[in-house]
Homo-oligomer: A and B are copies of this chain.
């Protein structure tokens, strides 16, 4: 027996003993590899090997980026352990948590939202002062089952302006755009169903669908929308039940759907009885409106969802679903069962903010600033050999290719050490074919430090 094998067995024995003695309890984190190596006076690699064997034995489990834990009395759902094992840098959940963790003062050019100073702070303050004087019922009661009436009436008019005929009864408010999609998934999907997404697509669609235990199939996304041939082939091959996409401005590419693609998509969907969720979260960023699938289809098989977190505030949670009346009725039942009544207050604050005359001016300013920042960012990235796949007409995103097939995940890991959070392409790509892409947010890419860090990291990666 080799000495290293003996040492590994010794470490394993130590962990077993401590679990038996309940000094390491089920579900608790055990000491880090480094700490254990120091305690037992063995090498880090010995401890790592011991821990990994204990994982294989089912005694421990690893939580990426966190450490090793003692297996609990139950084996509950761990999203990070479903599906193929991903590098942390392209794990949707890891990227979300990294972006949400506001404690760090990292630069976040990979972040999917605007910096606080860009959002509608003045409108929110004004709305808060107003609601402080609202009725007791408004301040303390549940909303009605469909949600705050005035906001649904406003949305009905706004939808009509984009050619979508949705009565207020066909609109349900939710706590967020994500909750809206989640309720639709609960309504339409069974575990094992297949769902189509764009490749690349917003990474949280993948995390959400993972939680529903469905098969996710990506359809290549072109500058005018989904690749229609590939879409048709995917319909034939997988009989999907649902297709989730962005309307208006696509995340992560910034591209927009063309009318001809919209029409062909809907014809295919009709023939195959496919339901489509159109996420319209970036609507107010558009300068020239793109077609809406829901408008072409008349809310027959298309469901539109949206929220106000990208334009008004992400701190005030409110989203919506617009769909066929009978589907909305069933979605309301599901909403009540799984989150009971909605709140009136968030919807009221949002309603006041977006119907305030200042909101239009606020969004004009945001669109202008985004255009300016986009024009400034493109040449700065270009100087580093990072080239946009397309120049979006509007919105915050730039989907960019790295030079010479450089690995975006490796680059992201390197940049993180310098306090820069990037969004590597494969986090958005179901087929993992966007390994040399990055999504940039032009509203979060103004700081000169970003380009210094990028240049240094790219040099490091290129010299490997």
Contacts and interface: CB of A to CB of B under 8 A. Distances in A.
Given A182-B339, A211-B337, 11 more contacts: A28-B325, A76-B188, A97-B332, A128-B128, A139-B315, A140-B312, A175-B317, A179-B339, A208-B338, A317-B339, A317-B343
Interface in A130-177: 131-133, 135-145, 175-177
Given A79-B333, A139-B121, A329-B66, A241 B339 contact: no
A19 interface: no
Interface stretch (A9-17, A99-107, A224-232, A371-379): A99-107
Given A102-B144, A207-B337, A339-B175, A139 B313 contact: yes
Copies in the complex: 2
B101 A145 contact: yes
Interface of A: 25-29, 63, 66, 69, 72-74, 76-80, 92-93, 96-97, 100-103, 113, 116-117, 119-121, 124-125, 128-129, 131-133, 135-145, 175-179, 182, 186-188, 191, 204, 207-208, 210-211, 241, 273, 275, 300-301, 309, 312-317, 324-327, 329-330, 332-334, 336-346, 349
Contacts of A349: 345
Contacts of A316: 343, 345-346
Nearest to A120: B140
Contacts of A345: 313, 315-316, 346, 349
B333 A93 contact: yes
Given A137-B102, A178-B338, A208-B338, A330 B73 contact: no
Given A26-B300, A73-B301, A346-B346, A178 B136 contact: no
A337 B210 contact: yes
| The 8 nearest A-B residue pairs measured at CB | A119-B140, A128-B132, A207-B337, A317-B343, A178-B340, A116-B136, A315-B344, A140-B313
B334 A241 contact: no
A241 B337 CA distance: 20
A356 B125 CA distance: 21
A101 B146 CA distance: 9
Given A100-B341, A116-B140, A241 B132 contact: no
A176 B340 contact: yes
Given A300-B25, A317-B346, A346-B346, A77 B139 contact: no
A140 to B, nearest CB: 4
Given A120-B140, A136-B121, A334 B77 contact: yes
A87 B316 CA distance: 38
A317 B317 contact: yes
Contact of A315 (B125, B140, B327, B334): B140
B128 A141 contact: no
Contact of A188 (B74, B119, B188, B337): B74
Contacts of A102: 137, 141-142, 144
A163 to B, nearest CB: 18
A366 to B, nearest CB: 12
